[in-house]
Structure 1
């Protein structure tokens, strides 16, 4: 099997890809022990059959530079094809400030082509490439060397079958005229801001039901400190302290090391040293936040409950329109979109813009205004205009 372990071999292979219409790409990485993903392997294939024209790039090989690969990623004449690419693109953006362009995501394209919500690669391999993947190496430590033959076979399959999947989906989009739908969806993945994690926003990932301003202020500053410390140390945020400990600290708001020692959930290492000092400093800083800097409660915010019936109707409409157009519901409108459409007078959500508005948004607003009704005819749901 073609395993590339030096820069010269990588440059030579990437040069052979410079004149092809597309290449397929995948990665294997670990992030259980680090904050930033550890890139362990890159799979790359140019058009061909079987394993011909497919290689594995050992990113852990001594002295190997990925610059030839990044140069290929910058080549605007070659489409870079991934499946469910968000984490792959994040790695390349964080490690090298490079996002492959032009870029195609077969998961997004499959959702537009009617294969379902967030369809998996294995499903597309089975349905489009008429092949089966050996899953025995799915959960493996990709940082260990040497790689086994089973690992290599599994890794190559992630890009060899992807060639056929891309060709079929691209042809389908061209025939349906929906390529622009995919491009609109991929714009988010091509934006470097998508992969920037700001410690000031880390509180948004913490689930809480408390509406207390003092609690929310402390939670925000504790989450900010934890995110910063995790980035600096390159360890998972839960290695600093877990969410349940963060919530306990935000509620108790200890002021001294002695108070901190009374925490039931805080790990022993977090009760001393830099982490302990950071916790106390974060709680102190929370006291100085202005009302506009304190997070707004995300539950119990007074949102009207009388629109639940409208929300149910919108879900029925979404399913009917999605089925009619042969596109995944989740791609057209999220649950949050439906909630805002049902409850806000002037909602500004993706479902009311671009192609989504054509497929669903316009009818959703007409339904809300009482201009249309829904009628069932067996299993079929129809839109009925009202006088």
Structure 2
């Protein structure tokens, strides 16, 4: 196991990796004190039981990660990750780069019947027949030098991944489902997956009030918080939490004295830039013209769900999931089923490979063309009438 701390050493490894069919990759990072994840370590391993495995130290003063990003752009080598989303966000934010082609073993495992959001440790046990020591998982990866326990933990995240990748890729070829995984990975490789626009942040805030004026305050406060947190690279919660935002939307403070009466606002947010931003946001919302107020349910649509139909769709989904050996939540979410039962058709469960597995019969069920029949412990699809 080699720890790489210089650009030249990284370049040599990456050039060797370009000659291989795949390279396994993982990262260690911290996000507790920042808005964007801080990359602390990159682990990579080449194929073969004794293939070279390295740890790349991005915190070294003598390294540029450009050779690694060049490897990520090299289409002749598959980049293998497990649960890649957070890793890909780091690379996209830091360098505007996505590793392509990509193979995500968590997605592949769900397609291959290993359950929903299956963890790496589970796959190591079931496929590689090994056990992992996870005691270093939540250690501080910014501290140097790293301990032997940390180094051992980190390298295991890419060495066992080789066996898992080779097993799952073969299973996908045998089942003819490689394209299913590629369809899912296209979402991971879409920049929109990782872009958070301050003006849209309010749509993710959960409230029980649909008043246009109330929501206008939420909209302005959420936009200010997101922009402030991004610009200073601090967590949203360091600006103010959602419960404080809801309180502010109710009290609508426009002066420091009114702001000081907040029960939930952090002390440091009652003066200075954050306080000014809150007051400005509230005033902007209060001055908003009626026609520019957020419409009720604009952020989270309230559906008129046919609950009986939704229940039938859930039974159909369970039957299809078991028959196909694919995790139910990968085929359709609870939201998908409710949307279908409410008459909506632009939902993921009705598109692509999901339409083949579930969506086509879901629509036949909606139209009354099929029914569900139970025999023993199995549910069957039968013609209606």
Q: TM-score, normalised by structure 2?
A: 0.97
What's the offset of the Cα at 1:299? 9.6
> 1:357 — aligned with what?
355
Instruction: Tell me whether 1:28 sits opposite 2:12 in the alignment.
Output: no
> 1:367 — aligned with what?
365
CA RMSD after TM alignment? 1.5
Q: How many residues align?
A: 384
In the alignment, structure 1 segments of 5+ residues that lack a partner are: none
What's the offset of the Cα at 1:268? 1.4
What's the offset of the Cα at 1:204? 2.3
- Counterpart contact for 1:20–1:47, Cα < 8 Å: yes
The separation in 1 between residues aligned to 2:13 and 2:299, in whole angstroms, is 54
> 2:47 — aligned with what?
47
The separation in 1 between residues aligned to 2:102 and 2:296, in whole angstroms, is 37
Q: Kindly provide the CA deviation profile for residues 191-212 of structure 1, in whole angstroms up to 9, marking residues without a partner as x.
A: 1121111111111222111111
Q: Does the C-alpha gap of structure 1 residues 290 and 94 become closer, same or farther in structure 2, counting only changes over 3 Å?
A: farther
> 2:229 — aligned with what?
230
The separation in 2 between residues aligned to 1:298 and 1:323, in whole angstroms, is 36
The separation in 2 between residues aligned to 1:337 and 1:292, in whole angstroms, is 30
The separation in 2 between residues aligned to 1:203 and 1:89, in whole angstroms, is 25
- Counterpart contact for 1:209–1:299, Cα < 8 Å: no
> 1:109 — aligned with what?
108
> 2:38 — aligned with what?
38
> 1:167 — aligned with what?
166
The separation in 2 between residues aligned to 1:219 and 1:295, in whole angstroms, is 13
SS across alignment from 1:209: coil
> 1:296 — aligned with what?
296
- Counterpart contact for 1:210–1:297, Cα < 8 Å: no
SS across alignment from 1:24: strand
What's the offset of the Cα at 1:145? 0.7
Instruction: Tell me whether 1:329 sits opposite 2:311 in the alignment.
Output: no
> 2:314 — aligned with what?
315
> 2:210 — aligned with what?
211
- Counterpart contact for 2:204–2:299, Cα < 8 Å: no
- Counterpart contact for 1:30–1:142, Cα < 8 Å: yes
The separation in 1 between residues aligned to 2:301 and 2:105, in whole angstroms, is 39
> 1:259 — aligned with what?
258
Q: Does the C-alpha gap of structure 1 residues 290 and 75 become closer, same or farther in structure 2, counting only changes over 3 Å?
A: farther
What's the offset of the Cα at 1:173? 0.7
What's the offset of the Cα at 1:304? 2.7
Q: Does the C-alpha gap of structure 1 residues 366 and 227 become closer, same or farther in structure 2, counting only changes over 3 Å?
A: same
The separation in 2 between residues aligned to 1:59 and 1:301, in whole angstroms, is 43
What's the offset of the Cα at 1:131? 0.6
In the alignment, structure 2 segments of 5+ residues that lack a partner are: none
The separation in 2 between residues aligned to 1:368 and 1:290, in whole angstroms, is 39
> 2:19 — aligned with what?
19
- Counterpart contact for 1:311–1:338, Cα < 8 Å: yes
- Counterpart contact for 2:203–2:299, Cα < 8 Å: no
Q: TM-score, normalised by structure 1?
A: 0.96
Q: Kindly provide the CA deviation profile for residues 257-288 of structure 1, in whole angstroms up to 9, marking residues without a partner as x.
A: 11111111111111111111100111112232
Moved over 3 A (4+): 289-293, 298-303
- Counterpart contact for 1:217–1:295, Cα < 8 Å: no
Q: Does the C-alpha gap of structure 1 residues 374 and 238 become closer, same or farther in structure 2, counting only changes over 3 Å?
A: same
Q: Kindly provide the CA deviation profile for residues 2-29 of structure 1, in whole angstroms up to 9, marking residues without a partner as x.
A: 1111111111111111110000000000
What are the residue-to-residue correspondences of 1:90-169 with 2, within 5 Å? Answer: 90-169=89-168
> 1:245 — aligned with what?
244
The separation in 2 between residues aligned to 1:300 and 1:228, in whole angstroms, is 22
What's the offset of the Cα at 1:295? 5.1
The separation in 2 between residues aligned to 1:279 and 1:300, in whole angstroms, is 24
